[in-house]
A = this chain, B = another copy of it.
Amino acid sequence: MKLTVYLAGEIHSDWRNELITMANEKGLPLSFVSPQTDHDRSDDIGEAILGEQPSALYRDEAASQINNFRTQVLLQKADVVIALFGETYRQWNTAMDASAAITLNKPTIIIRPDSLIHPLKELANKANITVNTVEQAVDALAYIFE
C-alpha cells in the first residue's frame, strides 16, 4: 500500500524537503504533492497563462484560478493532508486547504508552533492530529505502517 500525502501550508521555509527526507530515511511508502511553492511563480501564473490583466485585482484573480485548479487536482488524489502554519503571514490558503481536506474526510495533520495554539484552536480541534514539529508529523505517518 502506497499513500499520497498533500503538503499544504507555508512556502517560505524548507519544511517540505525536511519532511520528505525524514520519511525517505524511514523507508515509508509515500509520495508527496504540494501547492506551487515558488511564491513569485504562484503570483505570476495567471498573467503567464492568461496574459496581462487590467489591475492588481484581476492579476490576482487570474492567478488564483490556476492555483486553485492545481490544488483541487492534487488534493483529490491525496490520502493524507499535512498543513504547516508558520509564525508570519496570514496563511489563509493553508487554513482553506486544511478545512477543505477535513470537510472531504481526508485524514489531516496540522503542524504549528506553540505561539499559534490560541488562534488555531478550532481548526486544530477539527484536524485528526495537531503537532509542533515536522518530525512529529513524520512519526504519525510512520505509525500507519507499524
Contact = CB atoms under 8 A, between A and B. Distances in A.
B136 A50 contact: yes
Given A72-B128, A117-B56, A146-B41, A90 B93 contact: no
Given A71-B122, A96-B98, A100-B103, 18 more contacts: A57-B117, A60-B117, A60-B118, A60-B121, A63-B121, A64-B122, A64-B124, A65-B128, A67-B122, A68-B122, A68-B126, A69-B109, A72-B105, A73-B80, A90-B91, A93-B123, A99-B100, A99-B103
Contacts of A122: 64, 67-68, 71, 92-93, 96
Interface string A105-132: 1010100000001111111111011110
21 contacts: A3-B73, A41-B146, A45-B143, A49-B136, A49-B143, A54-B54, A54-B55, A60-B121, A61-B124, A65-B129, A68-B126, A69-B144, A70-B144, A90-B91, A90-B119, A91-B92, A92-B92, A92-B122, A93-B122, A96-B122, A100-B103
